[in-house]
Chain A
Amino acid sequence: MKKFLQDLEVELRKNNLSEEEIADIITDHREMIDTAIREGLSDDELEKKFGNPKEVAEELSQFSDKKDKGRESKKMKTKEFTGIAENYNVTIGLVSEDIVFKHSDEDKILVEYVGKKDLDEYEVEYKDNEFVLKTPKGMRYEDSWFGNNHRLFTITLPSNRKINKFSLKQINGDTVISDIVAETFEMSTKNGDTKFANFKLDTFKINTVNGDTSIENCECAMLSISQISGDLELRNSKIKHDLDINSVSGDLEFENVDCITLRLKTVSGDLDGKEFYPEVVYLTSVSGDITIKNTDSTKPIQVKEKRTVSGDVDIRY
C-alpha cells in the first residue's frame, strides 16, 4: 500500500496541487490505510477499498488549492474592461451559465460572476474592439445533480457605445437581455430560455432547440426565427420588412406586431396572433395553422401562398 501513497502523491503533483494540500491529503490517506491494515484487510481488499489514486487526485484537484495561486488565493469573481470603442462587437458563448445584461453610463464593461468557478477559468476579454465571454471547451462542472449549482454572469454594458454585431450562443443557460441597440444580433440556444426586451436592430436572428423565447418591444428591419420545439412570444414589436419563421413543433404567440412579409414554415407549430398586421403572408406547413384576431380592418392581410396538408390561415376582425 506504500505504492498507493507514492502514486497518489505523484498524481496530486501532476494536478498541480499546493504542497500544503498534498501533505494534508497524504496524511489522511496514510491514516486510513494504517487503520485498514490494522483491521487485517488483505491486499486485494485494500485495493478494492482504496481504488485508483489517479481518480482521487483528479476529483480532489477540482476544488483544491493550486500551487501557482497560493493558499490564500481568493476566487476571482469580477472583471472590468475600460476604453470601449465607439463601435464594438460582443461575442458570448456559454454552456451551463445563466446570463443577465445591464447597462450603465460609465465607459466600461463590467463582468460579475456568481458560482463555484473562478472567473479566470472562463475566456473573458476585451480585445480588438470585441468583448468575448466564453466557457472553455470541456469545462468540468463539479455539480451535484441536486443542490445549488447556480452559475450566473451579470454583464454591464456601456449605454453610450454602439454595438455592431452581437452574437450570443447558449447551450443550457437562460438569458435575460434588454435595451440593446445594434446592427446585427444573433442568438442561438439549445435548452436555455431567453427574454429579450427593448431592442433596436437591423438584423435579428434567433435559433433555438428546446428553449422558450420571449421578445418584448423590439424594432428591427428583419427578424428570422428558427426553432424546433421551443415556443416564442413576440409582443409590441415592429419589423420593418421580413419576418421569417421556421418551426418544427414550437408554437408562436404574437401580440401587437407589425411586419411587411411573414413567411412561416412549420410542421405542427401554430401561430396565434392578436393585433398582428403582416401585409403579406406565406405559409408552408403540415398541420400548423395561422390564426389572427385583429380589430383594425383598414390594414388588410394578403395570403399570397398557402401550402399545407391540414393547416389553415384564419384571419378575423
Chain B
Amino acid sequence: MNSQFKRGIIELCVLKELIPQDTYGYLIINSLSEHLNVNENTIYPILRRLTKEGYFTTYLEESSSGAPRKYYHITKKGFEYYLKLRDEWDDFIGGVYVILNKGGKKNEEILARFGSRVEKE
C-alpha cells in the first residue's frame, strides 16, 4: 500500500486511540497492531510529529515496575484535527464504497455478473 496513504489512515487511528483516555506509546502500538499490519516504525514517528504540532501533550508517570512512562494526552487542537480528518475520511471512503458497490457488493456477485467479460479476452 502506498506509504503516504497508509500514514494518513494510521494518523487518524492514533488520534482516535487517545480520545477516550491518555495512554503510552507501547499500548498504542499494541492496540493498533491488533487490527492493522503496523509496527513501531509507523506509529512512533506519528506520535512524535503530532506532539510537535501541538495535537498531543506528554507527561511522565511512574509505572507499576517503577520506571517512568511517557503518556500522551490529546489537546483541543488535536481533537478538532481528529474531527476534521474523520470527516474527510468518511467522505472519501464513502465515495470509494459507492464506486466499488456499483453492480454488486460482494465479490461473488461481481464475479457472477461480470466474470465472463474477463474470460472473453
Q: Which residues of A contact B8 (CB under 8 A)?
A: 144-147
* Distance in angstroms between the alpha carbons of A249 and B5 in the assembled complex: 31
Indicate with 1 or 0, residue by residue over B84-118, a CB within 8 angstroms of chain A CB atoms: 11001100100000000000000000000000000
Mask, B1-36, CB within 8 Å of A = 1, is 010110110010000000000001110010001000
A143→B4 contact, CB < 8 A? yes
Q: Is the pair A49, B52 in contact by a Cβ cutoff of 8 Å?
A: no
Chain B residues with CB below 8 A from A49, complex form: 29, 33, 39-40
Q: Distance in Å from the Cβ of B8 to the closest Cβ of chain A? A: 4
Interface locus among A29-37, A158-166, A180-188, A298-306 = A29-37
Q: Kindly identify, within residues 132 to 146 of chain A, every residue whose CB is under 8 Å from any CB belonging to chain B.
A: 142-146
Complex Cα gap A21–B11 (Å): 21
**What 0/1 pattern do residues 58 to 97 of B give for CB contact below 8 A with A?**
0000010101111000000000000011001100100000
Looking at chain A's contact residues, the main secondary structure is helix
Q: Which residue of chain A has its CB nearest to the CB of B27?
A: A35
Bound CA–CA A25/B44 (angstroms): 9
**Chain B interfacial residues counted at CB < 8 A:** 31
User: Which chain A residues (24-62) contact chain B, with CB distance < 8 Å?
Assistant: 25, 27-29, 31-32, 34-36, 38, 48-52, 55-56, 59-60
In the complex, are the beta carbons of A144 and B41 less than 8 A apart? no
Most-contacted residue by chain A among B5, B29, B33, B41 (CB, 10 A)? B41
A35 and B66 alpha carbons, distance in the complex (Å): 11
A143 CA to B52 CA, complexed, in Å: 15
Give the contacting residue for A63; candidates B29, B39, B49; CB below 8 A. B49
Are B40 and A50 in touch, CB under 8 angstroms? yes
Q: Could you tell me the distance in whole angstroms from the C-beta of A304 to the nearest C-beta in chain B?
A: 47
Question: Are A51 and B67 interface neighbours, CB within 8 A?
Answer: no
B11, B67, B85, B92: the one within 8 Å of A31 (CB): B67
**A49–B25 alpha-carbon span in the complex (Å):** 12
Shortest A38–chain B CB gap in Å is 6
Task: Report which residue of A35, A38, A48, A52 has the largest number of chain B beta carbons within 10 angstroms of its beta carbon.
Answer: A35
Decide: A35 near B41, CB < 8 A? Known: A28-B70, A144-B7: no
Given contacts A28-B25, A32-B26, 4 further A-B contacts (CB under 8 A): A50-B40, A56-B44, A59-B41, A144-B7
Residue contacts A-B, CB under 8 angstroms, 15 given: A29-B44, A31-B68, A32-B29, A35-B24, A49-B40, A51-B39, A51-B41, A56-B41, A56-B44, A59-B41, A59-B42, A64-B48, A142-B49, A143-B4, A146-B92
Binding site for A on B (CB under 8 A): 2, 4-5, 7-8, 11, 24-26, 29, 33, 39-42, 44-45, 48-49, 52, 63, 65, 67-70, 84-85, 88-89, 92
Closest 7 CB pairs of A and B: A51-B41, A144-B8, A59-B45, A35-B26, A145-B8, A32-B26, A146-B88
